[in-house]
Amino acid sequence: MEQAQHQQQVWFVTGSSRGLGRALVTAALDAGDLVVATARRPGQLDDLVKRYGDDRIHPVALDVTDADAARGAVDAAVSHFGRIDVLVNNAGYANVSPIETTDDADFRTQFETNFWGVYHVTKAAVPVLRAQGSGTVVQVSSVGGRVGGSPGIASYQAAKFAVDGFSRVLAVETAPFGVRVMVVEPSGFATDWAGSSMTVQPVPAEYEDTVGLMNRRMRQNDAGAAGDPQRAAEIIVGAVRRNNPPSHLLLGVNAAEMAMAYSRHQLAESAAWQGVSRSADFAEPYPAPFPPDEAAA
């Protein structure tokens, strides 16, 4: 397997206190690396400091929605370990409600963490990575940020689509500096994402078959989510070590299958409408025949 010779790396991970963030911290430490672990309440990481030692893990308080705090946390990381090799934007959460009845302030607050938090931390770290001439930015998104359409979590999915667009531009802009960008797109994992971290607002009767059904699927599955956060973390650590990591890393059976189905549908639709699409340019034949108008499934 193509893989770079491993040297000890410094990770900077947001949302480290639980879930995938905590699993990533332990996976990186178990791989022999150093970690700056950020959280709103860094005391929640005391057990990891005790286990691995404060010479290997450095907890830092960080609210990712605060741009000044993001710059301060990055400065603290460089001051403590001298560099940042892997930046992981993991902090995020979702609340459930239909778009029609969503509280505007709640929609914006979710977006502040799920997109603007990524923006603030990334922008704070890029000068460090550029000056080093190396580094990897890992953006923890969701398969929903690729395929979309999950009723009830519009703010979360809109933010994840924004993170993907932001990351694609970031990758092009920073590649000349030796910086790589990888977007991670998981499906359901056994974390607290759909537990106490999620607020479910009352679902109007009109949305029981969409938002209500999605909520029941997430919360009433006795078997729990299929994804193992520790496996996911170990996969991410392994991918980052490669000479050529993927630009987008799907994690989980549902993520892989949903993405493939979505891509096939996109390709088929683009091919069916290609003549019409091309006809919008001056130099192309016009009008072009529309494809057959079949009844919606």
d(CA 72, CA 67): 9
286 is annotated as an active-site residue: no
User: Which position among 160, 167, 187, 207 bears the catalytic label?
Assistant: 160
Amino acid symbol at 229: P
User: Which position among 142, 156, 167, 207 bears the catalytic label?
Assistant: 156
SS (H, E, C) the chain: CCCCCCCCCEEEECCCCCHHHHHHHHHHHHCCCEEEEEECCHHHHHHHHHHHCCCCEEEEECCCCCHHHHHHHHHHHHHHHCCCCEEEECCCCCCECCHHHCCHHHHHHHHHHHHHHHHHHHHHHHHHHHHHCCEEEEEECCCHHHHCCCCCCHHHHHHHHHHHHHHHHHHHHHHHHCEEEEEEEECCECCCCCCCCCCECCCCHHHHHHHHHHHHHHHCCCCCCCECHHHHHHHHHHHHCCCCCCCEEEECHHHHHHHHHHHHHHHHHHHHCHHHHHCCCCCCCCCCCCCCCCCCC
141 is annotated as an active-site residue: yes
Task: Count the alpha carbons within 13 Å of 151 in the hemisphere toward its beta carbon.
Answer: 17
User: Which position among 16, 17, 141, 167 bears the catalytic label?
Assistant: 141
123 is annotated as an active-site residue: no
Which residues are marked as active site? 141, 156, 160
